[in-house]
Chain A
Amino acid sequence: MNKIISLAVAMGFMAGMPAFAAAVPPQEQDKEELKLQLPKPMFIGTPRNITSPNLERITGKPRGAFFVPAGTKLVSLNKPVTASDMQPVIGEVGYVTDGEKAGEDGYFVEFGPGKQSVQVDLKAPYELQAIVVWHYHSQARVYRDVIVQVSDDEDFITGVTTIFNNDHDNSSGLGIGKDKEYIETYEGKLFDPRGVKARYVRLWSNGNTSNDMNHYVEVEVYATPTQ
């Protein structure tokens, strides 16, 4: 009985083979998968433990000159700041516009994890010429989902202009951004608002490559009076 079953299975298998072969495209019937020998990783000892900033090496060339209309002034110094997290983990909200840009502890404000924002009220509408942001620069970091928006509306419901957005996967939910991520340096990141008129500047971030927290050393807004 077992022999009969085995014979039937074998015959069925042989009968099925041509059907299987027919299913394979003709040009691939006499081919086989090219199995590439990929290079293996090199074993190597403990890497360098970098504890001090080495920003020059990472940033490469310094930022070039940025030209603004004559009469452009810093208009954000000591202007009121609000934040999505008004009880920072470290520092105070006011650090954002206090004019101190040192990288050491004591000069930055740390907000809680995840998506957070700060908003600077320039107290009057201006034609914005440059926005420079220092998130944190005592260590090389990339801040995620950096979004810079300006508006004349304090609640950012109407008249919102997005200056910069590198939230490429829309994880912050403000729309997909096409701008690139960047490494924080002592130079800060300069955003070009191209003279857009606004009173409020709002900046978003969503953690960074070192931890999930959000930091600001300083935000500077350079502008000219409205025409």
Chain B
Amino acid sequence: MNKKAFAGLFLLTALGAAGFRLADLDLRPVHHDEANQALKFGALLEKGEYRYDKTDHHGPSLYYLTLMFARALGRNTLAELDETTLRLVPACFGIGTILLLLLFIPMIGKKAVLWSALGLAVSPVMVYFSRFYIQEALLLFFLVAAVAALWRYLLKPSWGWAMATGLFCGMMYATKETSVIAFGSIAAAFLLAHLTMGTREKESAQTRNTADPQKQDPGERQTERSDRRSRKPRSGIRWAHLILGLGSALLVSLLLFTSFFENPKGWLDSLLSFKVYFVRAGEGGFHVHPWSYYLRTLAFSKTGSGPLWSEAFILLLACVGGVAAFHRRHHDNRNFPFRKFILFYTLFSTAAYSLVPYKTPWNILPFYIGFILLAGCGAASLLDICRKSLCRALVIVLLAAGFFHLGVQAYRGSLDEPANPRNPYVYAQTSPDFLKLIHRVEDLAALHPDGDRMLIKVVAGPYETWPLPWYLRRFSRVGYWTDAGEAGGPGEAAVIISDTEQADRLESLFNKSFLSEYYGLRPNVFLVLHIRSDLWEKFLKSSPGKT
């Protein structure tokens, strides 16, 4: 493939990926977890306060990186923030992950990179969680960057790649402590790829710098030329580089976890968090799913009369790529260990995530990237195998149909039905009906003498409280209680929001002076909006309905 064709196709893919990731970012109601993260970020934005919490919410990188986006967009308070500003962060990192695939050209070639980029661009799960204000899209970006930097270092050791590897590993850790699963999988895959290298592979790895550049594509020949320029005997990992890499990882994680040394015990807390996450992973609580949950969700998902969702196309192509990793004739010698590494990483990380009882769909990303890379290699291998033009045309049509189907699902999942429970990636998602509650409260506040200073009481369990704090962020007097007894009577509050459990208890305190409305918070979970009669009468007079 010539350079211009590759550049054009890759650019088109990146633009398509950007379209999926950036369009209508405020479409989906804010999820419980997103609201938690947003409020935590709000404290950093307004007061410069961030303290790592070892019990929840993961690492600090999301907040500090969001700060850069918010400042650039001129958002200085929580009230000024909006969904688009927040979700722009994972969306940009999602697009960035696709651009990072360019670093893999020396390892897997341009064709495989292009197919991988296409898979990443249109994968429904990848698109969905690139539009979700949680850590996963960032973790994926740093994971791909760390693996790319590590292998680029192994191809051509330099202090630059050593430092980059350390930096991205540090960012992985500062994004999610559970990145240790990915670290473990990388280490195990690396070891196994090395152990399974045959004598011929080891020899070719040692002599790869003298390989005939005419047999490789132009991009690789260029790298080859630069390799020859350096023409130093390969000496593997150097101690100075190792120290530089480890130092970079330590420094970046230290800076972020300690809030730039304002909270010195933050880094230590990050280590102590392993106990918390280990226990949670084992217990699982609400989020225990069978080992097959992730693979089943990816392969085939259908709820009731809803549409079929499947990324089986990627899984099948990944199988082809996995088989091709053991067949020398389909790729050059240099690529051989890397493809094995990707295969083993995919197997180890999928097994690790699947064996942990605690499962949420966004945890698919760190291991699914392996499938996508293998699928890219698989697609390239299939085209290599087909020498006859008819056969190649047939494969291209099949590949185009498969990727088009993924694209249709990505559109449906993220832009058409982003909150529909029949979408397999919708998980404990806030119902669109919840937004009607917020609109009602805003309408009532407009009629209340205190306006946005109207006292609002929220009486609900913690799981039923969110994402109210995000949506009520512009109201200056909102109190949150978990028990009706502690909240006391309505007092001056003209608007009270409660869960259904507390609603019964509140009604005994109201003396029939409040009207109640139900709103859906999540599937099977309701909130009750209690409105004082005088304010309700005022509302009815201001908007008398259709008659």
**Which residues of A line the B interface, CB within 8 A?**
36, 38-51, 53-54, 58, 90, 104-106, 138-142, 168-176, 180-181, 183, 208-211
Contact = CB atoms under 8 A, between A and B. Distances in A.
Nearest to A108: B305
A41 B468 contact: yes
Interface string B37-64: 0011000000000000100110000000
Interface stretch (B144-152, B342-350, B511-519): B511-519
Contacts of B32: 46-47
Interface in B286-314: 286-287, 303-305
Contact of A50 (B57, B468, B524, B545): B524
Given A51-B421, A171-B545, A38 B524 contact: no
B465 interface: yes
21 contacts: A38-B479, A41-B465, A43-B36, A43-B39, A43-B40, A43-B57, A44-B56, A45-B36, A46-B32, A46-B286, A47-B286, A50-B522, A140-B525, A140-B526, A141-B520, A169-B540, A173-B545, A181-B517, A181-B518, A183-B518, A210-B523
B8 interface: no
- 7 A-B pairs with the lowest CB-CB distances in the bound complex, closest first: A170-B545, A173-B546, A209-B520, A38-B479, A48-B286, A142-B518, A44-B462
Given A41-B466, A43-B40, A142-B518, A51 B523 contact: yes
A45 to B, nearest CB: 5
Given A38-B478, A46-B32, A46-B427, 18 more contacts: A39-B480, A41-B39, A41-B458, A44-B56, A46-B286, A47-B522, A47-B525, A50-B524, A139-B524, A140-B523, A140-B524, A140-B526, A168-B517, A170-B547, A172-B546, A176-B540, A180-B516, A211-B432
B480 A41 contact: yes
A173 B543 CA distance: 11
A105 B305 contact: yes
A42 B134 CA distance: 18
Interface of B: 32-33, 36, 39-40, 53, 56-57, 286-287, 303-305, 360, 421, 427-428, 431-433, 458, 462-463, 465-466, 468-469, 477-482, 500, 515-520, 522-526, 539-540, 543-547
A139 B523 contact: yes
A38 B480 contact: yes
Contacts of B546: 170-173
B428 A46 contact: yes
Contacts of A142: 518, 520, 526
Contacts of B479: 36, 38-39
B471 to A, nearest CB: 12
A168 B431 CA distance: 22
A135 B433 CA distance: 18
Contact of B463 (A44, A141, A174): A44
Given A48-B428, A168-B517, A169-B543, A183 B526 contact: yes
Contacts of B427: 46, 49
Contacts of B515: 168
Contacts of B33: 45-46
Contacts, number: 132
B497 to A, nearest CB: 12
Nearest to A181: B518
Contact of B428 (A42, A49, A208): A49
B465 A42 contact: yes
A48 B360 CA distance: 10
Contacts of A104: 304
Contact of B287 (A46, A171, A208): A46
A151 to B, nearest CB: 18
Nearest to B527: A209
Given A48-B428, A142-B518, A43 B56 contact: yes
A4 to B, nearest CB: 39
Given A43-B57, A53-B524, A140-B526, A105 B304 contact: yes
A183 B523 CA distance: 12
A46 B462 CA distance: 10
Contacts of A44: 36, 56, 462-463, 465-466
A68 to B, nearest CB: 29
Nearest to B430: A47
B278 to A, nearest CB: 15
Contacts of B547: 170, 173-175
A106 B33 CA distance: 34
B468 to A, nearest CB: 7
A59 B539 CA distance: 30
Contact of A38 (B462, B477, B517, B523): B477
A107 to B, nearest CB: 11
B443 to A, nearest CB: 10
Given A51-B421, A105-B304, A181-B518, A42 B524 contact: no
Contacts of A42: 462, 465, 480, 482
Contacts of B303: 51
Contacts of A208: 433, 520
Q: Which of B287, B304, B433 has the most CB of A within 10 A?
A: B433
Nearest to B520: A209
Contacts of A51: 303, 421, 523
A38 B427 CA distance: 31
A168 B515 CA distance: 9
Nearest to B491: A36
B305 A90 contact: yes
Contacts of A49: 286-287, 427-428
Nearest to A44: B462
A141 B526 CA distance: 8
B503 to A, nearest CB: 11
A48 B428 CA distance: 6
Contacts of A176: 540, 545
A53 B477 CA distance: 36
A58 B287 contact: no
Contacts of A172: 545-546
B545 A169 contact: yes
A210 B303 CA distance: 15
B539 A169 contact: yes
A40 B480 contact: yes
B532 to A, nearest CB: 14
Contact of A48 (B40, B463, B465): B463
B523 to A, nearest CB: 6
Given A38-B479, A105-B304, A171-B545, A45 B540 contact: no
Contacts of B40: 43
Contacts of B480: 38-42
A182 B472 CA distance: 26
B210 to A, nearest CB: 54
A43 B55 CA distance: 10
A55 to B, nearest CB: 9
A170 B544 contact: yes
Contacts of A46: 32-33, 286-287, 360, 427-428
Q: Which of B469, B517, B524 is packed against the most chain A CB atoms within 10 Å?
A: B524
